[in-house]
């Protein structure tokens, strides 16, 4: 199933946006939950979105799949908080789109606040665990504004040789 995390918090620094989207992407990759087809922090004036992660092909059929989906949703704000802990309350309050989707998934399992807290902790632990990858991805995103599927994979894998090679033939569209 297709999903696009669209993040709209107004006035947010591009750095925070980059770490937020990198958090979503690395969570999908780490959990093997769907495929990230691209990430952008180019604002979309028509929709007001400041950034989005295009994740698709998630198989969401078991409770474990649903938990992974919710962790991927929470990982955006978790990465943003780790990058800028001073703005924690503002960040958590601003992740409305992600939280609405997560709330729907939690309700589908009949989950309550304890489960929400548990999955938020798992998202934060994943972000801590994979911080070097999130950091690398966010930095590239700030440089390029937009990353294609292959670039995301190579950056997360730390395969800079393949990254350089793929950029020779990759047709960049903005
Ligand atoms: Zn998000």
158 is in which domain, residue-wise? 3-169
Is 87 within the bounds of a domain?
yes
Decide if 174 is inside a domain: no
In order of 28, 43, 45, 51, 110, the CA distances from 5 in angstroms are: 12, 13, 16, 8, 23
Measured distance CA(138)–CA(112) in Å, rounded: 32
Indicate whether 2 pLDDT > 80: no
- Ligand 1 centre and the CA of 168: distance in Å? 30
Contacts of 126 (CB under 8 A, 6+ apart): 26, 27, 30, 31, 71, 75, 78
Diameter over CA atoms, the chain: 49
- Report how many domains make up the chain: 1
**pLDDT tens-digit readout, 10-69:** 556 899 999 999 999 999 999 999 999 999 999 888 877 788 999 999 999 999 999 999
pLDDT tens, residue by residue, 115-164:
999 999 999 999 999 999 999 999 999 999 999 999 999 999 999 999 99
Span from the CA of 131 to the centroid of ligand 1 (angstroms): 17
How far does residue 160's CA lie from ligand 1's centre (Å)?
26
29 found inside a domain: yes
Interval between CA 68 and ligand 1 midpoint (Å): 15
For residue 91, give the CATH number of its domain.
1.20.58.760
Question: Alpha helices of the chain — where are they, by DSSP H?
Answer: 14-31, 63-83, 88-94, 96-108, 113-129, 131-144, 149-157, 160-169
Burial (0-12, 13-18, 19+ Cβ within 10 Å), 2: exposed
Q: How close is the Cα of 129 to the center of ligand 1, in Å?
A: 19
With respect to residue 17, please indicate whether it lies within any of the assigned structural domains: yes
Question: Is 20 part of any domain?
Answer: yes
Which chain residues have CB less than 5 Å from ligand 1, an ion? 5, 7, 76, 98
Is 51 inside any structural domain?
Answer: yes
20 alpha carbon to ligand 1 midpoint, in Å? Answer: 6
Q: Is residue 114 part of a domain?
A: yes
Residue 8, judged by CB atoms within 10 A of its CB (0-12, 13-18, 19+), counts as middle
Q: Quick one: pLDDT at residue 44? A: 82
Look at residue 154 and tell me if it is in a domain.
Answer: yes
């Amino acid at each position: 199933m297709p999903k696009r995390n669209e993040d709209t918090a107004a006035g947010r620094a591009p750095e925070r946006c980059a770490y937020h989207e990198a958090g979503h992407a690395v969570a999908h990759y780490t959990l093997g939950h769907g495929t990230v087809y691209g990430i952008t922090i180019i604002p979309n004036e028509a929709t007001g979105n400041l950034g989005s992660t295009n994740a698709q092909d998630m198989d969401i059929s078991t409770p474990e799949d649903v938990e992974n989906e919710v962790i991927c949703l929470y990982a955006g704000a978790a990465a943003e908080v780790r990058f800028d802990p001073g703005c924690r309350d503002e960040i958590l309050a601003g992740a409305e789109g992600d939280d609405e989707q997560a709330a729907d998934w939690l309700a589908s399992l009949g989950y309550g606040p304890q489960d929400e807290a548990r999955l938020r902790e798992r998202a934060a632990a994943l972000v801590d665990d994979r911080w070097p990858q999130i950091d690398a991805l966010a930095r590239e995103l700030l440089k390029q504004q937009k990353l294609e599927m292959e670039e995301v994979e190579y950056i997360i894998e730390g395969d800079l040789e393949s990254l350089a090679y793929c950029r020779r033939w990759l047709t960049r569209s903005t």
